[in-house]
Structure 1
Amino acid sequence: METLPVEETTTSGPPWTTKIAVLLRDGLLPWQELNVTAFLASAVAAAVPELIGRPYEDADGTRYLAMIRQPVLVLTGSAEVLASARTRALERGLPTSLFTADLFATGGDTENRAAVRAVRGADLDLVGIAVHGPKNAVDKVVRGARMHP
C-alpha cells in the first residue's frame, strides 16, 4: 500500500516546510515570462520528484497528470537581483535552475545546455532562476525581489 508523505496527511492547511520560487528578470515579454516560468518549474520538479503530488481524476473517471503539490511563487527583479539570488542559492546548496537570454534563440535541449556551458557562471545573462528549499533559506535567496504583478 502506498503511503502519502506526512505533510499531505497531517493538516488541512498549507503544510509545506519548503518553498519553490521562480525569479524573473524585469522587462520580459509576457510570452517570455510564461515560457521561462514553465521551464524553470519543470526543472525543480525533475530534480525534486517528491514535490509531485498524485494524479487527478474527475467524476467521470478521466485521469489527469500529477502536478507539483505546493504553490510556486513567481517573483520579479532586476538583473542584479537575479545574479545575487543565483550566488546565494549556490552558496546555500539549494537546487537551482536557470534560464538565460541566449536560450530564447536556441533550437532545443542540446543547444540550450551548450549555450549555458559556453559562459562563466558570473557572466550568465540571467532572465530567470528557480530555487527550492526550506522557506527561510529561499526567502533569503530571493531577498530584493518582489511578487510578480
Structure 2
Amino acid sequence: MENASEPVRFETKIAVVLRDDLQTWQRLNMTAFLVSGIGRKVPEVIGEPYSDADDTEYLPMFRQPVLVFEAGKEALVTAHQRAVTRGVPLSVFTSDLFTTNNDRDNRAAVRAVHRDNLDLVGMAVYGPRNAVDKIIKGARMHP
C-alpha cells in the first residue's frame, strides 16, 4: 500500500537536453515538442486526468518530472549516439525544424539527413534512471 507521506521515487527518467547556444524561445518551443512523443510511445508515463474542486476536467500529464539539461554541441551529439546505441525512446530536434511550420515538413527535414549528420539542437530520452544518467553524462541542469 502506498504511503502518501513518503517521497515518490521513480525508476525511470525523462530528460531533455538542449544545446546551450539557443535563444530562450527556441529552448521553450523545443522542450514542448521533444517531450510530446514520449506519452504516445510509452503511455504508462501519463498519469490520470486532473480536476479542480469545481469538477472542471483537465488533461492528464506526465506522472513524473521532466528534467531539462543543456550541453554544448559535441556533448549533445555524444548523448544522441549513446541513446541510439542503448535503444531507448528518443526524440530529436534539428536546426532545420526552426524553419518549418508543420509536422509533415518537420519529418521530411529529419528524414533528409543521415543520423550522423543531423544538426542536433535538442533531444529527449526516456528510460531507466541509470541508463538515462549515462546517456546525458556531460550535460548540466538547465539554469
Q: Which amino acid aligns with 2:8?
A: P
Alignment match of 1:118 (pick from 88, 112, 115): 112
Within a 5 Å distance, the mapping from 1:23-102 to structure 2 comes to 23-102=17-96
Distance 2:133 2:8 in 1: 17
CA distance in 2, matches of 1:122, 1:71: 30
Once superposed, what is the RMSD of the aligned Cα atoms? Answer: 1.0
Unaligned runs of 5+ in 2: none
Who is 2:2 aligned against? 10
CA distance in 1, matches of 2:115, 2:40: 22
1:3 — aligned with what? none
Task: Give structure 1 stretches of 5+ with no counterpart.
Answer: 1-8
- Whole-angstrom CA distance in 2 between matches of 1:33 and 1:14: 28
TM-score by length of 1: 0.92
Identity %, equivalent residues = 58
Which deviates the most, 61-70 or 43-52?
Answer: 43-52
Where does structure 1 differ by over 6 angstroms across 4 or more consecutive aligned residues?
none
Query: How far has the Cα of 1:27 moved from its partner?
Result: 1.3
